[in-house]
């Protein structure tokens, strides 16, 4: 016989456990059905007493079904969700009043026979929430309403089922009961008469009460029984006030991996005074992750926002390429580097697409042209429809097309003429040219790398000059019929940690000694348009 | 070399399901439709994760790979607030000792062939090699597969799955 030291029975509070599908479904319902309505909704949760971890009440997409469908080995819990339209309403709502309202519903269900009919109403929960559908953030607060009944005195240490004499007879009787009914029931155990039978709650008979074990599916893994036992006790004493003061035996059923009940616990408790159900207070708001009385928040962008999903997967792809091929590659630098592309034609589109594939995010294009019918076949950012529209400018079309390919891109397009050496500028075009000049210089200053991808020699002169003056990295590319050129312009920038490489058979020249397109060419920039 | 046809995958999956039910375990067969590769085995359980001791829910799928003709282990873990573990978190949780340079080859994020969402998975390219190392073919390749790959991600089958019941 274990020590009788008259402690107070403590309960293991419920811990909410939310599946991502719960949020997916809530977002769907809010967008497609509820819209601006914030009427309460009935929801179902579930809890398991098989190999239980913690003391969990779980919710997933099935919460919003019209009938409870708990998974195998689990039991249904019944709840209400109050999904508010704004964060202000969420914060301002009177939490005590809400809990009291939910608690009174629970008591009403106990009185009016609904619990007798469906005991899962004893496993009650409430969710207060606010879904920020733009940022995919969910603010939520679970409550497990329970009347603050007088404390239960524990008459001795809890017993294990396997420790009872004739334990196998108990187990046989329990296992004969179908799984759905095992959430709350009575076990009549009369050792003298060698009779073990289960009874539903409505089969309660005062005459037999001394032989009763009040059984319930216990989702707690701890020494203390799950929170829902408190509602169970409240219900029983409300139905039969004579039980007040008597020692009652409660059995929390716990199945292990092999579906054995051996380690189920038995508590012998009594409640000294009756509870005044009219005046009783309610408890049950869940503490947040810091153990304080407050709501929780989860940001689901990574799994729910398509743009974020794309970004994550693209980044992963790049990392895999890096680990496999170029371990020293610094992907963060690539993502932060700002690229300015002079020209949005064949070269411009191809370079832009390639930059995207390597994880560059900031791409600006400059071009004065309109998308024409011959462009789409060679210029990979344009379609036939662009040409048909007749008024689509390349720079802006390319910029928006890049966004369509990767929503995380920061792309811009400017329609302008690059002032060119050897080309006269009429008086009427003077102010526009000055504007464009200013804009071009601004853009060069604002970016890190400039690409010269235009269709003439002389249009490269000004960008070359600006790139050198502002010490930017300049990459120059040109296409001929049967030849091409790609070169990096020299720079006066001092590279910290730059090491001159010695490669056999090659003369290696440092960046500061490289020339530009014009230094390396024998002809001066003229006007090519009269050579066509 | 050990490979599996789709009908073989299905029948062995059903066998595993039978054993699971008999042992009181909770494997499920999810059938999206009757197209090749669109049915898979599902198993869920909770784990306490290493340092923070927080509970996570892990869902495992045994999916058929049409191109490699072998089973593939996909899984996804989420926390109590519904947020999913990303690749880095997954590596830290399940394989904290393995260097990242090795991990990316074995355990990465892939698109689930039936659900079209990103899941963590063991890449199937070496599976047939691994399954063939025993010489004799297994009577249930799925049980062999799970017992080989599962433990790395805390998916363990009790020994009773391997008992001969015929």
- Copy the structure tokens of residue B57: 């829910």
Whether the Cβ atoms of residue A59 and residue A16 lie closer than 8 Å to each other: yes
Whether the Cβ atoms of residue A253 and residue A49 lie closer than 8 Å to each other: yes
Residue A55 main-chain phi, psi, to 5 deg: -145, 85
**Does A492 score more than 80 pLDDT?**
no
Strand B28-31's sheet: what is its strand order? B28-31, B39-49, B54-65, B70-79, B118-122, B107-111
Residue B23 distance to chain A (closest CA, Å)? 7
In this predicted model, what pLDDT tens digit does every residue of A137-161 receive, in sequence order? 999 999 999 999 999 999 989 999 9
Is A320 in the B-facing interface, judged by CB distances under 8 Å? yes
Is A316 in the B-facing interface, judged by CB distances under 8 Å? yes
In this predicted model, what pLDDT tens digit does every residue of A267-325 receive, in sequence order? 999 999 999 988 999 999 999 999 999 999 999 998 888 888 889 889 888 988 888 88
> What is the rounded CA–CA span in Å between residue A506 and residue A35?
69
Is A303 in the B-facing interface, judged by CB distances under 8 Å? yes
Residues 59-98 of A with CB under 8 A from B: 71-73
In this predicted model, what pLDDT tens digit does every residue of A247-270 receive, in sequence order? 999 999 999 988 899 999 999 999
> What is the rounded CA–CA span in Å between residue A380 and residue A386?
12
Is B154 in the A-facing interface, judged by CB distances under 8 Å? no
Residue carrying the six token digits 């039991």: A75
- Do B82 and A298 make contact, defined as CB atoms within 8 angstroms? yes
> Which residue in A295, A300, A297 sits closest to A92, CA to CA?
A295
Residues in A closer than 8 angstroms to B27, CB to CB, are none
**Does A4 score more than 60 pLDDT?**
no
The pLDDT-based confidence of A1 (bands split at 50, 70, 90) is very low
Torsion over CA: B27, B31, B36, B38 (sign) = negative
Distances (CA, A) of A527 to A93, A421, A519, A524, B3: 74, 8, 18, 10, 68
- Length of chain A in terms of residues written: 532
Mutation target for B interface from A261, A303, A324: give the one with most B CBs within 10 A: A303
Torsion over CA: A118, A124, A129, A134 (sign) = negative
The reported pLDDT for the residue numbered B101 is 72
In this predicted model, what pLDDT tens digit does every residue of A51-109 receive, in sequence order? 999 999 999 999 999 999 999 999 999 999 999 999 999 999 999 999 999 999 999 99
- Copy the structure tokens of residue A333: 């630098």
- Do B108 and A56 make contact, defined as CB atoms within 8 angstroms? no
Helix ranges (H only) for A86-158 are: 87-92, 95-111, 114-117
> What is the rounded CA–CA span in Å between residue A16 and residue A288?
10
Residues in A closer than 8 angstroms to B125, CB to CB, are none
The reported pLDDT for the residue numbered B145 is 95
Catalytic residue chosen out of the listed positions B125, B129, B139, B156? B125
- Copy the structure tokens of residue B95: 């394989």
> What is the rounded CA–CA span in Å between residue A10 and residue A222?
11
> Which residue in A234, A222, A57, A64 sits closest to A149, CA to CA?
A234
The reported pLDDT for the residue numbered B53 is 77
Give me the residues paired with residue A249 across strands.
A213, A268
B49 catalytic, yes or no?
Answer: no
- Who's near A437: CB < 8 A, 6+ residues apart? A419, A462
- Who's near A223: CB < 8 A, 6+ residues apart? A158, A265
Is B118 in the A-facing interface, judged by CB distances under 8 Å? yes
In this predicted model, what pLDDT tens digit does every residue of A463-481 receive, in sequence order? 999 999 999 999 999 988 8
Whether the Cβ atoms of residue A531 and residue A422 lie closer than 8 Å to each other: no
Whether the Cβ atoms of residue A53 and residue A12 lie closer than 8 Å to each other: no
Q: Which helix (H) or strand (E) holds B93?
A: helix B87-94
**Does A456 score more than 70 pLDDT?**
yes
Mutation target for B interface from A72, A289, A302, A316: give the one with most B CBs within 10 A: A316
- Who's near A485: CB < 8 A, 6+ residues apart? A476, A477, A478
In this predicted model, what pLDDT tens digit does every residue of A510-531 receive, in sequence order? 777 788 998 887 665 666 666 5
The reported pLDDT for the residue numbered A185 is 96
- Do A303 and B84 make contact, defined as CB atoms within 8 angstroms? yes
> What is the rounded CA–CA span in Å between residue A345 and residue A376?
10
- Do B82 and A23 make contact, defined as CB atoms within 8 angstroms? yes
Residues in A closer than 8 angstroms to B23, CB to CB, are 258
**DSSP state, A272?**
S
The pLDDT-based confidence of A228 (bands split at 50, 70, 90) is very high
Whether the Cβ atoms of residue A189 and residue A170 lie closer than 8 Å to each other: yes
**Does A500 score more than 80 pLDDT?**
no
Residues in B closer than 8 angstroms to A328, CB to CB, are none
Distances (CA, A) of A225 to A9, A143, A254, A398: 9, 18, 10, 64
ipTM entry:
0.92
Residues in chain B with pLDDT < 70?
A: 164-166
* 3-state DSSP assignment of residue B22: helix
**Does A487 score more than 80 pLDDT?**
yes
């Amino acid at each position: 016989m274990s020590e009788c030291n008259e402690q107070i029975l403590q309960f293991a509070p419920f811990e909410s456990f939310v599946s991502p599908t719960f949020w997916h479904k809530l977002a769907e319902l809010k967008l497609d059905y509820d819209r601006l309505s914030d009427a309460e909704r009935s929801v179902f949760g579930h809890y398991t007493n098989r190999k239980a971890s913690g003391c969990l009440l779980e919710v997933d997409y099935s919460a919003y079904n019209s009938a409870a469908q708990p998974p195998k080995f689990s039991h249904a819990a019944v709840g209400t969700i109050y999904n508010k339209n704004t964060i202000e309403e969420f914060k301002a709502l009177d939490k005590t009043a809400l809990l009291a309202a939910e608690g009174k519903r629970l008591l009403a269900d106990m009185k009016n026979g609904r619990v007798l009919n469906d005991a899962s109403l004893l496993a009650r929960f409430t969710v207060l929430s606010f879904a920020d559908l733009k940022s995919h953030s969910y603010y939520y607060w679970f409550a497990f309403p329970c009347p603050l009944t007088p404390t239960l005195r524990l008459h001795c240490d809890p017993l294990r089922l396997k420790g009872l004499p004739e334990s196998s007879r108990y187990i046989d009787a329990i296992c004969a009961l179908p799984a759905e009914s095992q959430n709350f029931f009575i076990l009549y155990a009369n050792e003298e008469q060698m009779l073990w039978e289960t009874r539903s709650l409505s089969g309660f008979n005062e005459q037999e009460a001394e032989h009763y074990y009040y059984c319930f599916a216990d989702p707690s893994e701890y020494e203390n029984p799950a929170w829902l036992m408190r509602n169970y006790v409240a219900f029983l004493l409300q139905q039969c006030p004579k039980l007040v003061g008597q020692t009652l035996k409660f059995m929390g059923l716990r199945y292990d991996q092999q579906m054995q009940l051996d380690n189920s616990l038995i508590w012998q408790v009594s409640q000294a005074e009756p509870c005044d159900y009219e005046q009783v207070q309610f408890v049950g708001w869940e503490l947040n992750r810091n153990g304080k009385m407050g709501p929780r928040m989860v940001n689901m962008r990574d799994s729910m926002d398509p743009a974020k999903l794309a970004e994550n997967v693209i980044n992963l792809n790049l990392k895999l390429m890096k680990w496999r091929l170029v371990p020293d590659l610094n992907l963060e630098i690539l993502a932060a580097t700002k690229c300015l592309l002079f020209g949005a034609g064949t070269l411009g589109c191809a370079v832009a697409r390639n930059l995207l594939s390597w994880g560059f995010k900031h791409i600006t294009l400059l071009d004065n042209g309109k998308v024409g019918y011959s462009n789409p076949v060679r210029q990979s950012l344009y379609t036939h429809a662009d040409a048909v529209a007749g008024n689509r400018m390349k720079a802006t079309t390319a910029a928006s097309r890049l966004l369509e390919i990767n929503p995380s891109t920061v792309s811009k397009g400017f329609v302008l003429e690059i002032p060119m050496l050897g080309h006269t500028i009429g008086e009427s075009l003077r102010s526009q040219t000055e504007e464009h000049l200013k804009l071009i210089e601004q853009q060069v200053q604002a970016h890190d790398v400039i690409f010269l991808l235009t269709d003439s020699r002389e249009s490269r002169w000004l960008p070359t000059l600006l790139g050198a003056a502002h010490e930017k990295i300049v990459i120059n590319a040109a296409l001929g019929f049967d030849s091409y050129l790609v070169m990096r312009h020299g720079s006066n920038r001092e590279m910290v940690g730059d090491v001159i490489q010695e490669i056999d058979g090659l003369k290696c020249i440092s960046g500061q000694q490289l020339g530009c397109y014009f230094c390396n060419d024998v002809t001066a920039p003229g006007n090519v348009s009269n050579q066509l | 070399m050990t490979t599996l046809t789709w009908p073989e995958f299905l029948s062995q999956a059903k066998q595993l399901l039978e054993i699971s039910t008999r042992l009181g375990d909770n494997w499920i067969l999810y059938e999206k439709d009757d197209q090749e590769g669109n049915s898979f085995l599902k198993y869920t359980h909770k784990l306490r994760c290493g340092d923070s001791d927080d509970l996570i829910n892990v869902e495992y799928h045994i999916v058929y790979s049409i191109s490699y003709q072998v089973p593939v282990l996909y899984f996804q873990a989420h926390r109590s607030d519904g947020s999913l573990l990303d690749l880095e978190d997954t590596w830290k949780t399940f394989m904290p000792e393995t260097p990242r340079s090795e991990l990316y080859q074995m355990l990465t994020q892939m698109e689930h062939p039936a659900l079209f969402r990103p899941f963590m998975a063991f890449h199937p390219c070496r599976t047939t090699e691994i399954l063939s190392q025993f010489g004799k073919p297994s009577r249930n390749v799925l049980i062999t597969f799970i017992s080989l790959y599962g433990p790395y991600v805390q998916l363990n089958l009790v020994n009773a799955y391997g008992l001969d019941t015929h």
